[in-house]
């Protein structure tokens, strides 16, 4: 039996092979499609979706991060300005308060001084007054003592002089 188209035609086509080939191939396509192609291509499509969505998500995250960074930067600048302001006001407050305290202290001291001076003057005056009174009393007492005793005019004169001299001190 020769092999080839012509000999096959001569003996009638063995179209069993055609039928068998068709059935085999169609069955193979269906089986491969159902058991291998389907799951794997589905997974490939899923992976593609995941990559796309991951890329989108990454873009989105980066945008957000940039926005956040800009916000942080401006906030930081604001904070620095605020800090400078706070320090300046604190310094100014401290200065004015210090000045006020010093001024108050000065004023009080002056007050106290004038008061003390007044007190001293008063005390001096009082002392002088009381001394004058005592002198008067003493002179009365001396006078009465002298009057009680027999004195010569000379003695009396000497006594008075002596006394007055003693008073002058």
Partner 1 sequence: MNDKYPYLVVGPVRFNLANDIPMLVSAIIVFAVVFYLSRKPKLRPDGKQNLLEWVIDFTNGLVNGEMPGKQGGFFQLFAFTMFLFIFVMNQLGLFIDVNINGVSWFHSPTASPLITMTLASTVLFLAHYWGVENKGFAGYAKRYLNPMNLLEEFTNFMTLSLRLYGNIFAGEILITLIRNMALSGVVPILSFPVGFVFEMVWMGFSVFIGSIQAYIFVILSTVYTSHQVVSE
Q: Is the dihedral of CA 77, 79, 83, 89 positive or negative?
A: positive
Asked if residue 167 binds partner 1 (CB under 8 A), the reply is no
**What is the rounded distance in angstroms from the CA atom of residue 94 to the CA atom of residue 86?**
12
Give the one residue of 10, 29, 100, 104 binding partner 1; rule: CB under 8 A: 29
Q: Give the residue with the Cβ less far from partner 1, 42 or 91.
A: 42
**What is the rounded distance in angstroms from the CA atom of residue 111 to the CA atom of residue 105?**
10
Give the one residue of 46, 62, 113, 115 binding partner 1; rule: CB under 8 A: 46
Asked if residue 53 binds partner 1 (CB under 8 A), the reply is no
Residues 6+ apart with CB under 8 A from 135: 167
Q: What are phi and psi of 65, to 5 degrees?
A: -65, -40
Q: How far is the CB of 81 from partner 1 (least distance, A)?
A: 51
Asked if residue 22 binds partner 1 (CB under 8 A), the reply is yes
Binding region for partner 1 (CB under 8 A): 1-5, 8, 12-22, 24-25, 27-29, 31-33, 35-37, 39-44, 46-47, 50
């Amino acid at each position: 039996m020769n092999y080839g188209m012509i000999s096959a035609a001569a003996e009638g086509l063995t179209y069993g092979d055609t039928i068998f080939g068709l059935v085999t191939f169609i069955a193979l396509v269906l089986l491969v499609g159902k058991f291998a192609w389907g799951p794997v291509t589905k997974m490939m499509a899923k992976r593609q979706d995941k990559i796309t969505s991951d890329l989108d998500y990454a873009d989105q995250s980066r945008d957000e991060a940039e926005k956040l960074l800009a916000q942080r930067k401006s906030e930081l600048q604001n904070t620095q300005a605020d800090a400078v302001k706070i320090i300046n006001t604190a310094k100014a407050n401290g200065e004015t308060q210090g000045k006020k305290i010093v001024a108050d202290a000065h004023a009080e001291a002056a007050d106290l001084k004038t008061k003390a001076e007044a007190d001293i003057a008063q005390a001096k005056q009082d002392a002088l007054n009381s001394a004058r009174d005592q002198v008067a009393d003493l002179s009365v007492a001396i006078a009465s003592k002298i009057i009680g005793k027999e004195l010569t005019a000379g003695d009396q004169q000497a006594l008075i002089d002596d006394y007055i001299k003693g008073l002058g001190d």
